[in-house]
Amino acid sequence: MYLSRLIYFSHPTSLGDADIDTILSVSYANNTLRGITGALFFNGSWFVQVLEGGRSPISDVYARILRDSRHEAVRLIQFAPIPERSFPDWAMRYIGGGPAVDRAIRRFMVDGFDPTAISDGDAMNRLLLALSDATPAV
Ligand code: FAD
């Protein structure tokens, strides 16, 4: 298995909390079956997702995610081999918005969260790790 990491960002279309809960529960089930781990950031305006695992399972799930009408303007930042996982214990670590996350974001981006300002996948992965550390686990 080639351990790989895929990172993308996108805009939600019309989404409520129930939609996020549905996405997360489907993700937990599917990703656990396929050995995929990662994190999903959502602040109401942006999704950023990190998917880690085998190259084929990640390609398959990303193809489904691309077709999903709950978001749009999906932009791939990274799909590359990695030596180890950053979120090994999480079928999908959810990182929502909130004051602690906003404070952590401002350490990286003074004008607020804008994934288009980050071109490097490793930097985006480090940002999500920092935001994960700032968020209580749910
Ligand atoms: P089905 O559930 O059979 O759905 C068929 C089609 O409808 C698919 O194109 C699906 O994307 C779409 N769809 C399903 N439910 C809805 C709905 N309520 N509203 C609009 N369209 C819908 N899945 C994972 O397995 N792992 C992940 O990590 C993951 N992350 C995601 C992150 C984001 C930001 C989004 C928006 C979705 C994510 N999903 C993830 C869900 C993924 O897009 C698929 O819905 C899911 O994998 C089920 O795929 P399926 O082919 O069985 O589709």
Query: What pLDDT, in 10s, does the model give residues 28-58?
Result: 999 999 999 999 999 999 999 999 999 999 9
pLDDT at 135: 83
pLDDT at 32: 98
Alpha carbon of 72 to ligand 1 centroid (Å): 13
- Is the pLDDT assigned to residue 138 strictly greater than 70? no
C-alpha–C-alpha distance, residues 121 and 31, integer Å: 21
C-alpha–C-alpha distance, residues 87 and 131, integer Å: 12
* Mean pLDDT, the chain, whole residue set: 93
Rounded to whole angstroms, what are the CA distances from 118 to 28, 33, 51, 70? 27, 31, 17, 23
pLDDT at 14: 80
Ligand 1 atom with minimal separation from the 68 CA: 11
C-alpha–C-alpha distance, residues 55 and 117, integer Å: 26
C-alpha–C-alpha distance, residues 130 and 18, integer Å: 26
pTM tops 0.95: no
pLDDT at 60: 98
